[in-house]
Amino acid sequence: FSWNRVKWESIVSDIPDAANVLQSLPAEVNRDIVRDAVQGNLVRERVLGALVPVLIWGGPGGYGPYRARRILTAGTNTAGGTAETEIRERLIKAREIVQGGNPVEAFRFMNNDGKIKYLGPAFFTKWLAFSSMSGSIEGKNVAPILDKRVRDWIFQNTKGTDQISLRTTSTAHYQRYLDLLDAWGGPYGRSRAQVELAIFDLTRDRPAT
């Protein structure tokens, strides 16, 4: 999908690494492009820039740049300072945990001690996903995304006595989600990310047939 370069750049232009990454993005983005942008900037001095394409991909629409600025400045609307330093450290720490092969602990960190103001689970699981995509976007070590879109599809398609209701704000429920993806994908040699991608594809708006 396309994104509004002028609007994004005008709103985060005083955050240097974020502005630099925006300039490098093409007019249209997809998972592969966002993965490349994130993986190329997973260092402390550029990590805010790495987060920005995740926010573009995760929330297309007019409000996205303002949400991004609120997250990147911890709601102060002022770039730099101690808030920015803390955000950088927490993003890097989450990246280290998830790349160490423990997506549940990475979720726990970002949901508790490493919580970043205004960056909720629907978006921080996207950060964990793209941070863990050191290879393919659907590799076995990719941390799957859990947001309302995925949660609602699972709930609607498991109706009955075993209906599955997941809370996106719960570490225990994220573990349950991973177990579910393993159960669904394992017998067919599918990774968690491949199952999550399939669910995502099934939720897309499609023309009537």
Cβ–Cβ < 8 Å for 103, 128: yes
Q: How far apart are CA 175 and CA 54, in angstroms?
A: 22
What is the tens place of the pLDDT at every residue in 28-55? 999 999 999 999 999 999 999 999 999 9
Say which amino acid occupies 8. W
What pLDDT was estimated at residue 205?
Answer: 65
pLDDT classification of 175: cutoffs 50, 70, 90: very high
Say which amino acid occupies 71. I
Q: Give the pTM.
A: 0.93
46 or 58, greater pLDDT? 46
Q: How far apart are CA 199 and CA 196, in angstroms?
A: 5
Residue 207 has pLDDT above 80, yes or no: no
What is the tens place of the pLDDT at every residue in 83-126? 889 999 999 999 999 999 999 999 999 999 999 999 999 999 99
**Of 66, 70, 63, 104, which is closest to residue 87 (Cα–Cα)?**
70
What is the tens place of the pLDDT at every residue in 127-174? 999 999 998 899 999 999 999 999 999 999 998 878 999 999 999 999
Q: How far apart are CA 203 and CA 104, in angstroms?
A: 24
Q: For residue 53, what is the enclosing H or E element?
A: helix 47-58
